[in-house]
Homo-oligomer: A and B are copies of this chain.
Amino acid sequence: MNHKNAIIESQQRISKYIHKTPVLTSQGINTICEATLFFKCENFQKMGAFKMRGATNAILQLTEEQRSRGVVTHSSGNFAQALALAAKSLGVTAYIVMPENAPQVKKDAVLGYGGKITECASTIEAREIASAKMVKEIGATFVHPSNDMDVIYGNATACLELLQEQPDLEMVIAPVGGGGLLAGTALTTHYFGNNGLAIGGEPSAVNDAFRSLQSGKIETNLHTNTIADGLRTHLGDLNFPILKKYVHEIICVEEQAILEAMQLIYQRLKIVVEPSSAVALAVVLNNKESFKNKHIGILLSGGNVDLQKLPF
């Protein structure tokens, strides 16, 4: 299957299970940026993030027999909730491996969507061992949050909807964490755009993807001190080659710029987004000369933020 057809088929496959999210604009933000920005609002997606697209697509690709044995993932973030809700909508059991120190609010969200939680120690190894155990013992299918082609194709449909509404975008900027959204965005921009460029936005504090494109191999982060908690993970062997081939550039932004962009989105667009969502706008705000007078798509990844911990 080529990428182009896979993305079209993914859109058809998942359309009745997800929201077609709105594209918002703000005259005020355009004036500040001296450019024309189109915000694809995945904060309005079911369960509050684009992850619902990839999770739904991955489960729909399973056989009846696979579905009967359930799906498993390890995540303490949006993908845990997405897989739980997507599975519930499709009558499938979702087993979610979460670190035992994950915030109760995140565990409650997964439980609220009907997910079955297995707790493990708070290390990547422990997560992987626990997931592998579920796969072996229960026969559940493992779905990776970002390094899975069906997840990537599902994620790609966010940018596809955006381009269907605004075909002539000169660039689309998506945040990059695990690489699943940026890979989908880059494929879609390449196959469905009108010579548009795909650009990644990444916090400087966790600039593993930026360094990976420089070094040519998957880099990791020594620390994860960023407010953009959805972007702390690193790339995978399936999405990295896509990024290498189809992403024009990854641009890094400092924490203060992310915070200011987040505040601007709340003030001007009047919507609630999580810090990771603000990274793409921060890229534009920090590089006004490069983006001047351009028509730019901005992927807002989600809106699941702890209101008690807003940074302003």
Interface positions of A (Cβ within 8 A of B)? 22, 24, 43-44, 48, 263, 266-267, 270-273, 303, 307-308, 310, 312
Contact = CB atoms under 8 A, between A and B. Distances in A.
A43 B270 contact: yes
Given A22-B22, A24-B44, A266-B307, 9 more contacts: A48-B270, A266-B272, A270-B272, A270-B273, A270-B303, A271-B272, A307-B310, A308-B312, A310-B310
21 contacts: A22-B22, A24-B44, A43-B270, A44-B270, A48-B270, A263-B307, A266-B272, A266-B307, A267-B272, A267-B307, A270-B271, A270-B272, A270-B273, A270-B303, A271-B271, A271-B272, A272-B272, A307-B310, A307-B312, A308-B312, A310-B310
Nearest to A45: B270
Identical chains bound together, number = 2
A44 B270 CA distance: 7
Nearest to A263: B307
Contacts of A266: 272, 307
A170 B44 CA distance: 26
Contacts of A48: 270
Contacts of A272: 266-267, 270-272
A99 B308 CA distance: 33
A233 to B, nearest CB: 23
A95 B312 CA distance: 32
A22 B270 CA distance: 13
A88 to B, nearest CB: 12
A273 B307 CA distance: 13
Contacts of A271: 270-272
A272 B303 CA distance: 11
